[in-house]
Amino acid sequence: MTAPVIEFRQVALTYPGPPPVAALRPCDLVIRRGEFVTVVGPSGSGKSTFLNIAGLLDAPTSGTYLLDGLDTGALKDGDRTALRGRRIGFVFQSFHLLPHRSALENVTLAMVYSGVARKERRQRAREALVRVGLGHRVGSLPTRLSGGERQRVAIARALVARPSLLLCDEPTGNLDTANAQAVLALLAELHADGMTVLVITHDPEVAGRGARTVTIRDGVLREMAGTPR
């Protein structure tokens, strides 16, 4: 068995309100290096709450969250931000690319604070774009790319800092069927290469792509029957 990337021990989050909302009920969850896990649930079930905790954007109100074995509860804000930048690649539904920068610049800019030398940054960005099948479009502006290509640029940007975890929030939510299939196929390839991938979705079909699926309903996380562990 590989080492845990995410380990939740009785992690819960209640928004203070009033009235208080128990958005995530105490849950235990282990996601190991190289797993491809999908988290599926309806609107308001707690998916974003879960993602914000896993992505170190929000701290749980109780319980312990270990990322790569490190207790994140003990971190100061700056350390938490640095850890997020190093360990987690984010992919969102709406791409979040800079419209007036080329694909290559969008990916290169993700490494500005990484300490990687400038020349090396461009090299790595180019490699990441080749990896997602966009080696021929590195100079293109996002507005000249299809939705699926834009999402692949966003995935290259998420990967370029070599994170331990790729955290995707409805990565196909803005894509037509063909582009959605291409992005899901890319995520499956990255998983086959050893990347740890976590996809959050309300779409059961997307959820079915995970090697393992966790459901969330009314803030309660449950392992889906039939998937390992």
Ligand X SMILES: Nc1ncnc2c1ncn2[C@@H]1O[C@H](COP(=O)(O)OP(=O)(O)OP(=O)(O)O)[C@@H](O)[C@H]1O
* Residues engaged in binding ligand X (CB under 6 A): 15, 21, 23, 41, 43-49, 202
At closest approach, how far in Å is the CB of 48 from Mg ion?
A: 3
Q: Which is nearer to ligand X, 108 or 213 (CB)?
A: 213
Which among ligand X, Mg ion, none contacts residue 14 (Cβ within 5 to 8 A by kind)? Answer: none
| Dist. CA 80–CA 65, nearest whole Å | 12
| Dist. CA 72–CA 173, nearest whole Å | 30
Which among Mg ion, ligand X, none contacts residue 21 (Cβ within 5 to 8 A by kind)? Answer: ligand X
Which among ligand X, Mg ion, none contacts residue 177 (Cβ within 5 to 8 A by kind)? Answer: none
Q: Which is nearer to ligand X, 45 or 102 (CB)?
A: 45
| Dist. CA 130–CA 12, nearest whole Å | 40
At closest approach, how far in Å is the CB of 68 from ligand X?
A: 24
Q: Which is nearer to ligand X, 58 or 105 (CB)?
A: 58
Q: Which is nearer to ligand X, 139 or 204 (CB)?
A: 204
One residue of 48, 52, 81, 93 binding Mg ion per CB under 5 A: 48
Give the SS3 label for residue 204. Answer: helix
Q: Which is nearer to ligand X, 66 or 92 (CB)?
A: 92
Burial class (CB in 10 A: 0-12, 13-18, 19+), 98: exposed
Give the SS3 label for residue 56. Answer: coil
What angle do helix axes 147-159 and 118-131 make, rounded to 10 degrees? Answer: 130
Contact of 103 with 139, CB cutoff 8 Å: yes
Give the SS3 label for residue 12. Answer: strand
Q: Please give the residues from 106 up to 125 whose contact with Mg ion meets the rule CB under 5 A.
A: none
| Dist. CA 88–CA 152, nearest whole Å | 17
Site size toward Mg ion, by CB under 5 A: 2
| Site for Mg ion, rule CB under 5 A | 47-48
